[in-house]
Amino acid sequence: MIDLKKFNGIIPQSKIKDIYDYSIKLDFSTGGSKCYQISRSDKTLIINVNNLPLKEKKILKAIIIDSIDNDKAILIANSRTELLDKLYKYNDSNDNQILSFFKPILSNKDWETLRDSLFLRNEFKKHININNLKLDIKTRYGERGNTISNLCTAGYFEEIMIPLYNSSKEDFWAYYDLALDMGITALFVNAKMKIDEIRYEIKRRLYLGKKYGLQYIHIHGIGKKNIKNINDCIKQEKGNLNFTEKHLFTDKSLNVLIVELIL
């Protein structure tokens, strides 16, 4: 922790003793003449860098260098403080069990994606917007990461894959390859998908599912528009293709739909 007495010259010593455990926020906005403000609600000491005289600016620079070199502080972008705080606190026993189970099984990359995805799911359950987290996973791990994230959010890892692994490692790997490498065990419909694309993806999965001996595939959708599109596509394809549909989960208030197509 930084010894705030070092800010002598910027902040009166009398004010420092109350704020020894505060965060420090560097403010670069212009205007006003104050060199600092204390926000008691945020437990933050705000330094108005542009208002500091040259000598005090040098003191601030020296404090920052010393605190980083000696591991007394962490420099963090304002936009990421909330996420990092959540990650330090994140310790879900169910998620930890899933991660421990898969640690010796999955590749390091898939396991790390699963860990990120479980955190994302945790946020999703709290009704927090997860679009940026999803994008982070897709950017880092590509389409495979996106598939792991979707399967994880829908509960496939603990509900299907763990029991499968416990009953037959061979069946697990066959399923894992179909789910991850070929992406055919489930279709996650998103708002960007047009009707033709959804129909094509359903047909592709039905064809490959039969070819590789799957007994069913699942179609997932969240949101009114996605649910309507899924139902329309299934209705259209029912006459052409041989499958039976079973609504596994429909929740109108949450706007969530999971349909099983039995092959």
Partner 1 sequence: MNTKTKIIFGESGKDFILDILGKSVDNEGFIIEKNNPKVRVQTPEGREITKDQLAVIVKGSQKFIAGDLTSLMKLSKGEL
In Å, the largest CA–CA distance within the chain is 81
Find the shortest distance in angstroms from Cβ 34 to partner 1: 17
Size of the site for partner 1 (CB under 8 A): 46
Question: Does 152 sit near partner 1 (CB under 8 A)?
Answer: no
128 lies in the binding site for partner 1 (CB under 8 A) = no
State in angstroms the smallest separation of the CB of 158 from partner 1.
20
Cα 57 versus chain centre, distance: 38
CA distances (Å), origin 220, targets 12, 114, 150, 156, 163:
60, 19, 9, 12, 21
x-marked contacts with partner 1 along 23-62 as a string, rule CB under 8 A: xxxxxxx--------------x----x-----------x-
Comparing CB distances to partner 1, the nearer of 57 and 204 is: 57
Task: Return d(Cα 148, Cα 142) in angstroms, integer.
Answer: 10
Is 80 or 125 the residue whose CB approaches partner 1 more closely? 80
Q: Which of residues 73-112 bind partner 1 (CB under 8 A)?
A: 73-81, 83-84, 87-88, 90, 112
Specify the 3-state DSSP secondary structure of 30. coil
Do residues 174 and 210 touch, judged by C-beta distance below 8 A?
Answer: no
E-only strand ranges, 123-235: 186-189, 216-222
Other Cβ atoms within 10 Å of 38 Cβ, number: 15
- Select the residue interacting with partner 1 from 11, 35, 137, 160 (CB under 8 A): 137
Interacting residues toward partner 1 by CB under 8 A: 1-2, 22-29, 44, 49, 61, 64-65, 67-81, 83-84, 87-88, 90, 112, 115-116, 119-120, 133, 136-137, 139-141
